[in-house]
Amino acid sequence: MHIVELAFVAVALSMDALAASVACGISAPKISLKNSLIVAAAFGFFQAAMPLAGWNAGKFAYEHITALDHWVAFLLLALVGGKMVFDSIRKNASESECVCKSFAYPKIDLKVLLMLSVATSLDALAVGVSFSCAKYPILAPSAIIGATTFALSFLGIKFGGRIGRSHNRKFEALGGIILVAIGIKILISG
C-alpha cells in the first residue's frame, strides 16, 4: 500500500475518535494537558491495536467481526452520548456528573475512556482483517494509524475545550448528540 493511501486510511479511521475528542473537550473544557495526552494516547493506542488484532484474526474472524462491530460501537457511543445529553438537561446536574467531565479531573474515569476508545476503534479491527486478506504488512500501518489518531484526538480535545470554555454548559448536550450521531452513522454504514 502506498504511503499516501495509508495516510488517507489513517485519517479516515481517526475521524470517529476526533469527533469524540471534540465532544469531550466541549463537555470538559478544563482538561489538563496531562489528561488530554492520556485520552489522546488511549484513542491512539486502540486505533493502533485493533488493526493488529484484526490482522491476526484473519479471514476466520472477518464475517463475525463485520456482523457485530457496528452494533457494539453504536451501543457504547449511544450510552456515553445519551448520558451526556441527559446530564446536560437535568436541572440540578452538577458539573462533575457528565461522563466526559471525568477527564478534567486528576483521576480519569478509565471505564468511560475504555468505552470511548473501543467504540471509536472497532472499524480499525475490520481494516486489520482486510489487510490480512490482502497480504499487506500491518506493523507500519498500525503505527501510522495510532499516531494519526493520537494527534487528531489531542487537537480535538483542545479545540472542543476552546468551544466549551467560551459557551459554558450550552454545548454539553451537543457533545452527547455528536457521540450518538457517530454511533448511528456507524450502525447505518455497518
Buried b (16+ CB within 10 A) or exposed e, 102-122: bbbeeebeeebbebbbbbbbb
Of residues 107, 98, 95, the one with CA closest to residue 80: 98
- Cell numbers at 57, concatenated: 484474526
Is pLDDT of 180 > 70? Answer: yes
The pLDDT-based confidence of 174 (bands split at 50, 70, 90) is: low
Q: pLDDT digits over 84-135, tens only?
A: 677 666 644 554 455 566 676 667 778 888 988 998 888 888 788 878 877 8
**pTM, 2 dp:** 0.76
What is the model's pLDDT at position 151?
A: 97
Q: pLDDT digits over 39-85, tens only?
A: 999 999 999 999 999 888 876 666 666 666 667 767 766 776 776 67
